[in-house]
Chains A and B, each alone.
Chain A
Amino acid sequence: MQIELTINGKLRSLEIRPGESLLETLRSAGYTGVKYGCGTGDCGACVILLNGKPVNSCQILTAAVDGESITTIEGVGTMDKPHPIQEELVKAGAVQCGYCTPGVVLSAYALLQTTPHPTEDEIKSALDGHLCRCTGYVKILEGVKNAAERVE
């Protein structure tokens, strides 16, 4: 079946199967910053923004979001021009294997869009759907806090 998605601001027409997950669609369309982790909505590696809100793309069937707007990590920052959240996570030592990082960045990005000066509890709540097995969470919180001071 044919659907249309606005991915990182660009309208894309995609051929999908009815039972295909958004995670599968995005990765096969080249957005490999979206990571496959658990496949059950537990780990947060596949988080993308759907109309600006973080969601687990492994738990969404693509056909259900026909016509909607998607933001992946590729739409937030690049290697040459990283987003301040990405820079602050690196500076804080919050990135080791990096597998959870795209999802974390997108959840933090969505939080700072609606709450530019979040409390620590608000950051924890926004990131409660992400598992990190490398650095732990202290450095991630520190990176997001520092980014909040830079992002307006």
Chain B
Amino acid sequence: MQENIKEWFRPGSLDEVLDIMQSGRGIPYAGGTGLKGGLVTGLIDLRKLNLNYIRENETGIAIGAGTPFNDIAHHPWTDGRCILAQAVGQAASNPLRNLITIGGSLASRPIWSNVPTPLLALNAPVKVSGAPEAEYLIGDFLQLKRSSKFFITEVSIPPAPGYGVYHRFARTRFDYAVLDLAVYIELKSGAINLCRIAVGNAIPVASRLQQIENQLTGMQLSDLNVNAIINSTEIKPAKNPNFSREFLLNMLRTELMRAFNQIREQVYAN
């Protein structure tokens, strides 16, 4: 029982949702797994907004904010975008993945959410309604404060014709990830033409390792000495009560090397 919940709103438009949020009367119920006990008195039922969809449009595949993780995990992705399916398919458990939505997960960014890391590697835009209505690249979106001034409506996943890998390391299948990593690369004549490496959990805010990306771009995949490049780059792991920074750093290096080995296998298999 959430004793603090006194009222439900069932709006039929985004304007009504924003009005309720901005007047402080309620927050969206976007899966319900991350309600803050005691702080919220009103909840907004979003079902009338029909934000549960995955559809192709001219810029890629649009995912409605109300789409549960399992729908994304089971969508037939055909290119590098499958890293998003791998990530959300490993989050929490099967019954919870039927509840957790991509919008709710991005809005509250709980520790167990695997969403930001693959979205960073795919450079996905996030659409929000509110003040102002806007579309942010995921990297910029993650820098925004968790505010009541906007409402996430859609995440757009651009085409990803290259190669992607997602790794998640946790002590047990159901545990929070100690580290997650997404790598996406595109090749031209065997050389890396585009490289995005995103890390979550092991560092304070999920972000891209742009220094390493810049060093890898232009290099031949076959000649790549990822280990040397990673070792020459300064990465500051987050504080973790269970793991030392040295452990996290070594884990990150290891997972990154494994990811590139896996990409090589994918490339040579084609």
Residues on A facing B (Cβ under 8 Å): 1, 17-21, 24, 41-42, 44, 47, 50, 53-56, 59-61, 63-64, 66, 107, 125-129
Contacts and interface: CB of A to CB of B under 8 A. Distances in A.
B8 A1 contact: yes
A88 to B, nearest CB: 20
Interface in B2-36: 2-8, 29, 32-33, 35
A24 B2 CA distance: 11
B95 A61 contact: no
A60 B94 contact: no
Interface of B: 1-8, 29, 32-33, 35, 43, 45, 70, 92-96, 98-99, 173-174
Contacts of B92: 41, 129
Given A18-B5, A53-B70, A47 B95 contact: yes
B5 A128 contact: no
A54 B99 CA distance: 9
A129 B94 contact: yes
Contact of B8 (A60, A63, A129): A63
Contact of B4 (A19, A24, A60): A19
Contact of A19 (B2, B45, B93, B99): B2
Contacts of B45: 63-64, 66
A19 B3 contact: yes
Nearest to A57: B95
A61 B2 contact: yes
Nearest to A63: B8
Task: Pick from B70, B92, B93, B98 the residue with the most CB of A within 10 Å.
Answer: B93
Contacts of B29: 61, 64
Contacts of A107: 94-95
A41 B1 contact: no
Q: Closest 3 interchain pairs by CB? A: A129-B93, A19-B5, A19-B2
Given A19-B2, A24-B1, A54 B94 contact: yes
Given A1-B8, A20-B1, A50 B98 contact: yes
Nearest to A23: B1
Nearest to B89: A125
Nearest to B73: A125
